[in-house]
Structure formats: C-alpha cells, structure tokens
C-alpha cells in the first residue's frame, strides 16, 4: 500500500504529478465529510501537505496518530501550531529562500505604486481624463527614501538589496540586531519617526500580532507610506484604516489582510491605498520552486527519514538533508 498524504488547500498539477506515483493522495476539499473520513482512515495518514493560509487544525492532527511530517507550501507557518506538533514528534517543513526575490519585488511594486500614484495615473490614461481634463497631477518620487524594514530576515534583506537601485537609506527593526550595514532600531516607534516608508515583512503569529499600531502610524506621519507583505495580523487593521482616512499617513500598499480573502469595504473605497490579493510569491516560476521544495521534503523523508527545510521550532527533531 502506498503511504497516504492528506492535502489541505490547492496544489499544482506539477506537484501532483510528482507525488502520484509514490503516494495515495487524499484531498480534504474533495471529502464530503472530513471528520468522518478521518475517524475511519486517519490512522493511515503519514504526511500532511498544507499551506500558510489553511494550516491544519490540531483536532485534525489528533485524528491522524501516525503522521510524521507536515509539509507547508509557503514560508509562513503561523496557521500551524508548531509547538503542539513538536510535542507530538511531528516535523514541520516550509519553503524558505526560494520566494525571497518574488516577495521583495511585490513589496517594491507596492511602494512604487504608492509614490507614483499608479492607480490614479492609470485611470487618468484609461478613462480619457487626460484628453478631457489635461495632464495628470504630479506624484512623489520613490527615490532617495529612508525605508524602515520591520523584519530584516531573508525576504527583508532581498527588499533592502532591491531598494539600492532607488538609492534608499535602509534602517531596520528586529528583536535582535544583525551584522549588516544598516542602522538598527530596537524601538519600532523611533524607527517609524525616522522613516519615510515602513515595510512589514515579519512572520505572523502571537509575537507580531498588531505590532504595527496606531502609535506606529502616528510616528510615521502624514508623508509616510506603509507597505505590508507580511501577514494581516501584523497590523492593527482598524488603526490602519483610520490612519488612511484621517491622512495620519499618506498611503499604504497592502498584499495581506486580517481575514483573507475578505478585505474591509473601507479599504476598497479609499483612494490612498493599493490593494493586492496576497500575491507576494504568486508567479509561475516561484510557485514551481516552492512546490518542488514542498514535494521534495516529503519524498526525501519517505526515502531517507531526513528533510531539507524544517521550521526552526522542529529542527531539533528533524534530520536535515542537503538540497541537491
């Protein structure tokens, strides 16, 4: 009998094609009654494949007593209770690094759109307002900005590097100072005061919940631009809406929201916000690389008992195999 993978959320045909010869694939979305299926067959499940949005509920895992590994299709894994999994001896893997450049590009795309008022200017061209009303109003330059990166990790560093092309001065806030040529702020409010633009790119979860608060927006100020490519939970969303409505900050570019795929109506009607449907890593090339790593972690474990990219919290219970 082939080992069973329980799949939550979508996977690509390319991922499916690699798994089908070696595993029995059970799709949560295709089951009429997941709880009933798990009660009858949960003991057969050896692997879970899920993603950063759906994660897996702990009671699902309780119904799968022989699961060895949860392979997360994405770098963020705040939707998985990793300490619960670690206590049960279950390894969790994710897809770091392969999406750094794509998410960084998304952050820059949002920042450039805010400064150069892409939405307004595109509408001015498309609707005929240019012919009817004359030239578009002036926007603001995206060059020579002081950019505060909240979470200078793998992706944050890629953002900083891409911003060099715009002659940005990079400053950053993490819990720990790093050996990097950028100014460190251990106080986020002080960094927001010093920055023209704030870019959030921390993980989600309890330690960053509502980290970007009303006070942070007040410190960023009426010329300030806020970009979020982290998680919706990192921001106090009502405070962000209020800051945009009252022009406490100038503009925001958002790829992530508190209750995806729902976006609050107030955000949809505001002129000074650019909205994207969580597409940070969503290109064919990057999703192929993420899909490959997601699949490789399962195949590697099945063949050797080792994985390529465990999350730090379960690294101690995982044997790590180099990627070929």
Applying CB under 6 A, which residues contact ligand A2R?
75-76, 96, 103, 151-156, 173-176, 201-204, 207-208, 211, 230-231, 280
In the complex with ligand A2R, which residue's Cβ is closer, 92 or 211? 211
How far apart, in whole angstroms, are the C-alpha atoms of residue 95 and residue 26? 22
C-alpha 2/C-alpha 267 separation (Å) is 48
| CA atoms of 316 and 14, how far apart (whole Å) | 31
Closer residue to ligand A2R in complex, CB, 176/179: 176
Q: How is residue 156 annotated by DSSP?
A: H
Q: Please say if 278 is a catalytic residue.
A: yes
Closest of 279, 164, 173 to residue 216, by C-alpha: 173
Supply angle C-alpha 85, 201, 268, rounded to 5.
105
CB of 291 to ligand A2R, least distance (A): 16
**Can you tell me the distance from the alpha carbon of 65 to that of 112, in angstroms, rounded to the nearest whole number?**
49
Bridge partner residues of 92 (DSSP): 70
Cβ-contact 61, 84 below 8 angstroms: yes
Which residue of the set 124, 231, 287, 308 is catalytic?
231
For ligand A2R, give the closer residue by CB, 96 or 224: 96
Residue number with CB closer to ligand A2R (204 or 224): 204
Q: Which is nearer to ligand A2R, 25 or 79 (CB)?
A: 79
Phi, psi of 102 (to 5 degrees): -65, -45
Taking the complex as a whole, how short is the minimal distance between the CB of residue 324 and ligand A2R, in angstroms? 21
Q: How far is the CB of 150 from ligand A2R (least distance, A)?
A: 6
CB of 153 to ligand A2R, least distance (A): 2
Element (H, E) at 320: strand 319-320
231 is catalytic: yes
Nearest-approach distance from CB 290 to ligand A2R, in angstroms: 11
Separation CA 144–CA 121 (nearest Å): 22
Among the listed residues 145, 278, 287, 308, the single catalytic one is 278
Which is the catalytic residue, given 122, 215, 260, 285?
A: 260
Q: Residue of minimal CB distance from ligand A2R?
A: 153
Contact call for residues 287 and 69 (beta carbons, < 8 A) = no
Any idea which residues carry the catalytic annotation?
231, 260, 278
């Amino acid at each position: 009998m082939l080992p069973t993978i329980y799949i939550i959320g979508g996977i690509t045909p390319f991922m499916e094609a690699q798994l089908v010869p070696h595993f029995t694939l059970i799709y949560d979305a295709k089951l009429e009654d997941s709880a009933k299926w798990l009660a009858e067959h949960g003991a057969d499940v050896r692997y879970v494949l899920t993603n950063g949005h759906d994660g897996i509920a702990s009671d699902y895992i309780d119904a799968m007593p022989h699961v060895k590994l949860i392979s997360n299709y994405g770098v963020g894994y705040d939707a998985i209770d990793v300490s619960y999994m670690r206590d049960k001896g279950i390894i969790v893997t994710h897809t770091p690094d392969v999406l750094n450049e794509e998410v960084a590009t998304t952050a820059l795309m949002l920042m450039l759109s805010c400064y150069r008022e892409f939405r307004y200017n595109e509408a001015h061209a498309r609707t005929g307002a240019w012919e009817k009303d004359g030239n578009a109003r002036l926007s603001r330059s995206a060059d020579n900005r002081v950019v505060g990166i909240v979470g200078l990790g793998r992706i944050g560093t890629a953002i900083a590097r891409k911003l060099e092309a715009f002659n940005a001065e990079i400053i950053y806030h993490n819990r720990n100072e790093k050996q990097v040529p950028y100014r460190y702020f251990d106080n986020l409010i002080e960094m927001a005061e010093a920055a023209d633009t704030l870019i959030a790119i921390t993980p989600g979860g309890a330690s960053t919940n509502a980290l970007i608060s009303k006070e942070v927006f007040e410190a960023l100020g009426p010329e300030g631009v806020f970009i979020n490519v982290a998680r919706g939970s990192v921001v106090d969303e009502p405070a962000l809406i209020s800051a945009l409505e009252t022009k406490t900050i100038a503009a925001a570019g958002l790829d992530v929201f508190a209750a995806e795929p729902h976006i609050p109506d107030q955000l949809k009607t505001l002129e000074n916000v650019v909205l994207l449907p969580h597409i940070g890593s969503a290109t064919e090339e990057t999703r192929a690389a993420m899909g490959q790593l997601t699949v490789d972690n399962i195949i590697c474990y099945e063949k050797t008992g080792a994985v390529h990219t465990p999350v730090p919290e379960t690294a101690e219970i995982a044997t790590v195999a180099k990627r070929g």
